[in-house]
Amino acid sequence: MRRIFKTEDGKMHEKFDLQPGCWIALTNPTASEIMEIADAYQIDPDHIKAPLDEEERSRIEVEDEYTLILVDIPSIEERNGKDWFVTIPLAIITNKDVLITVCLEDNPILTSFMDGRVRDFHTFMKTRFILQILYRNATQYLQYLRIIDRKSEVIERKLHQSQKNEELIELLELEKSLLYFTTSLRSNEVVLEKLMRIEKIKKYPEDTDLLEDVIIENKQAIEMANIYSGVLSGTMDAFASVISNNQNLVMKFLATITAVMSIPTMVASFYGMNVNTKGMPFADSPHGFFVVIGLAVVLSLLVAYLFNKRDMF
């Protein structure tokens, strides 16, 4: 999908044709949309398609006619009815006339600009626009990291009540998300350091200050991701020990239950032998066999109830 925006009179307007000073937002573009933009601005189509590959690395490439900035942004992926945190590439391509963004999906970082929620934003001020996108990206990481921290606390409280595989899997997924975030943030840090060495970024003092703010926010996100990852890893180790002890208790409990369950089997087998029935309960009753089976079923239901009370199912 292709959308074109341009700020006029301090307000954001959506356009329908390519104009100098506009912002071209490509979201999961088609092959024809890629070729149209590539031909219009002499851009290598592979550079436009680069962020459509989720494994693409963050980098900067400076060409004669344009500059490509590729960074990772945080995203939410739904699996099995639950939201998980991942990262996807975002490309920012700029030349003397326009700024182009390319991403696989809609994201809150770019949507905030489209909705006019970012102050002092002008599509024709391309350098500042790039830095504003990068700043929003760093703050989005921080926001998602706080959500991950809150989710891990909720799961930990559940684990204190009963150790189940479902909660452990959720903790593992959160730990994986933190790993994705840390790796992507460090890659973005390299891109930001390269931006510091590009002289045209330092054209205006306020832009240099904004870039420094972006770097600070990105470093803060890295530190937060490392802290949360360490806490989560410690939690996983602690619960792994608890669960290991619980497994030993469960094995002992199962051994006891097996012994108990073997009693009705032995009794039923004994009743089936050719032995003297004198003194044996229900031996002379025509319904004795069913009575013994009934007792075995009642005992089995009692065991099932105990398992359910102990959260072993």
Pairing of strands 59-62, 67-79: antiparallel
Domain that holds residue 301: 247-309
Looking at residue 252, what is its pLDDT? Answer: 54
- In degrees and rounded to multiples of 5, residue 164 shows phi and psi of -125, 155
- Helix, strand, or coil here: 78? strand
Domain count, the chain: 2
Q: Which of 92, 123, 154 is the last residue of a domain?
A: 123
Q: Is the residue at 152 inside a domain?
A: no
Burial of 218 (0-12, 13-18, 19+ CB in 10 A): buried
- The residue whose two tokens read 């999961």 is 28
pLDDT given for residue 313 in this prediction = 47
Q: Which of 88, 123, 158 is the last residue of a domain?
A: 123
Q: Are the beta carbons of 279 and 304 closer than 8 angstroms?
A: no
In a domain, residue 94? The reply is yes
* pLDDT at res. 121: 87
Residue 192 domain flag: no
**Residues in the chain with pLDDT values less than 70:** 162-165, 200-204, 237-293, 296-297, 300, 303-305, 307-313
- Cα 114–chain centre separation: 25
**Is there a domain that residue 153 lies in?**
no
Q: What is the pLDDT of residue 27?
A: 97
Q: Measured between alpha carbons, how far is residue 43 from residues 1, 107, 244 in Å?
A: 18, 24, 58
The DSSP H or E segment spanning 79 is: strand 67-79
Tell me what pLDDT residue 267 has: 55
Alpha helices in 20-125 (DSSP H): 31-41, 45-49, 108-114
Share of the chain above pLDDT 90, in %: 51
Give CA–CA dist 192/187, Å, rounded: 9
Assess if residue 59 is contained within a domain. yes
Q: What is the CATH number of the domain that holds 46?
A: 3.30.460.20
Q: Quick check: is 182 in a domain? A: no
Per-residue pLDDT of 76-127, as tens digits, reads: 998 877 888 999 999 999 999 999 999 999 999 999 999 888 888 899 999 9
pLDDT of residue 217: 96
In the listed set 108, 123, 138, which residue is the last one of a domain according to the structure? 123
pLDDT more than 70, % of the chain: 74
Closest by CA to 134, choosing from 191, 204, 76, 176, is 191
Is residue 208 situated within a structural domain?
no
- End-to-end, the C-alpha distance of the chain in Å comes to 48
| pLDDT at 296 (0 to 100) | 67
**Upper half-sphere CA count for residue 101 (Cβ side, 13 Å):** 29
Cβ atoms < 10 Å from Cβ of 249:
10
CATH number of the domain residue 270 falls in? 1.20.58
Does any domain span residue 130? no
For 62, the 3-state DSSP assignment is strand
Q: What is the pLDDT of residue 203?
A: 63
